Amino acid sequence: MNSFDLLRLLAATAVIFHHVAPLSGAPARRFFSTDFGELGVGVFFVISGYLVTASWRRAPELGVFLKKRVLRIEPALVVSLALTALVLGAFATTLPLADYIRTPQVWLYVLRNALLYPVTYELPGVFAHNPLPHTVNGSLWTLRLEFSCYLLIAALGLARLLTPKIVAGLAVAAGAVFVALHIVRPDLGAVGLPRLIDIAALNGFLFLAGAFLNLRDRPVPVWAAVLLAPLILTPAWIFGLPALVVVVGSLRSVRLPADISYGLYIYAFPLQQLLATHGQLNFVTAFAATAPVALASWFLVEKPALRLKPRV
């Protein structure tokens, strides 16, 4: 048993830890030149690139590949969106309950976010007065970017371009965009087109780097991971992460009784916002509130859905 599940759990925990400060109205805690949220999401993208590429190579059929990806993401996501909008939102809204339920925005929140691409973050009257207002689940943006990376792997595979050279070239291009953007615009800000390009280049590089390391068909040398690891402490941190994640993830580990990383990721933000509303948000309360929900998501939704994956 490898350690990728354990790494995903640590990455999800890092994202929860990161969100505590901004959702409390404080500056985000830094991890040298990045922050814990960006680092945790980065680990997710490296692992996804590595494992999703392996999945395509085991079964290079578009229908099978897409069914696997949809079954991993959508069932738990749809349930979390429905619970967020109809239970948590109904409890937290400042509107009368009848008015809230009748508002189209409530139902569109579920539909639009389930479709991944037209992401929406607001529910009527929910968290309007929080330190980070009108944002019910700010973690949802990563899902459309990740699914886009899945589609890229499928497109390259169908075109017979899923090779180490092609993927390495795409990764280098994404990394170059990331570096150039930070040279030209060292202060990107939190929103705007440069920031969107930065996010796409950063996480695109990490996903493609993970894909490349799988396509090599050789274990990543431990010396390479050790040599590159110090880059994590510098502004070039994204170039030190992939080899380290794959080497550590490939180590033997105990099998976790439940893979709750995805559940932690999709439920933590709205629960943290709810805790912030009542002035009770810290890392301990956030993890304690989210872990039982993530466990329920794994055993009641995610694990049964994964049994429907096509057998190869």
- Tell me the per-residue pLDDT of 234-244, one tens digit each, with 9 for 90 and over: 999 999 999 99
Is there a domain that residue 279 lies in? yes
- The tokens of 238 are what? 């994204």
Stretch 236-260: mean pLDDT, rounded? 94
Q: Which residue has the higher pLDDT, 252 or 209?
A: 209
Residue 97, CB-side half-sphere exposure with 13 Å CA sphere: 5
Q: How many domains does the chain have?
A: 1
User: Do the beta carbons of residue 271 and residue 136 sit within 8 Å?
Assistant: no
How far, in Å, are 149, 150, 157, 168, 176 from residue 65 at the CA level?
13, 9, 11, 22, 30
Is there a domain that residue 44 lies in? yes
Is there a domain that residue 311 lies in? no
pLDDT at 89: 96
Looking at the predicted structure, is the pLDDT value of residue 280 above 80?
yes
Could you report the per-residue pLDDT of 150-172, keeping only the tens digit for each? 999 999 999 999 999 999 999 99
Task: Using the CB atoms, write b or e for 163-183: b if 16+ within 10 Å.
Answer: eeebbbebbeebbebbbebbe
User: Do the beta carbons of residue 13 and residue 287 sit within 8 Å?
Assistant: yes
Is there a domain that residue 236 lies in? yes
Stretch 119-140: mean pLDDT, rounded? 95
Is there a domain that residue 312 lies in? no
Type of residue numbered 79 = V
Looking at the predicted structure, is the pLDDT value of residue 190 above 70?
no
Closest CA to 78 of 47, 104, 115: 115
Write down the residue that tokens 């490349």 correspond to.
212
Q: How confident is the model at residue 182 (pLDDT cuts 50, 70, 90)?
A: confident
Q: Which residue has the higher pLDDT, 174 or 311?
A: 174
pTM as predicted: 0.95
User: Do the beta carbons of residue 40 and residue 19 sit within 8 Å?
Assistant: no
Name the DSSP letter for residue 303.
Answer: H
Is there a domain that residue 132 lies in? yes
Looking at the predicted structure, is the pLDDT value of residue 189 above 70?
no
Stretch 176-192: mean pLDDT, rounded? 79
Q: Provide the β-strand partners of residue 34.
A: 31
- Lowest mean pLDDT, pick from 73-82, 123-132, 182-191: 182-191
Q: How confident is the model at residue 310 (pLDDT cuts 50, 70, 90)?
A: confident
Is there a domain that residue 253 lies in? yes
Q: Provide the β-strand partners of residue 31.
A: 34
Domain region containing 253: 4-306
Stretch 87-108: mean pLDDT, rounded? 96
Is there a domain that residue 264 lies in? yes
Q: What percent of the chain clears pLDDT 70, i.e. is strictly above it?
A: 98
What number of residues does the chain have? 312
Closest CA to 35 of 50, 48, 21: 21
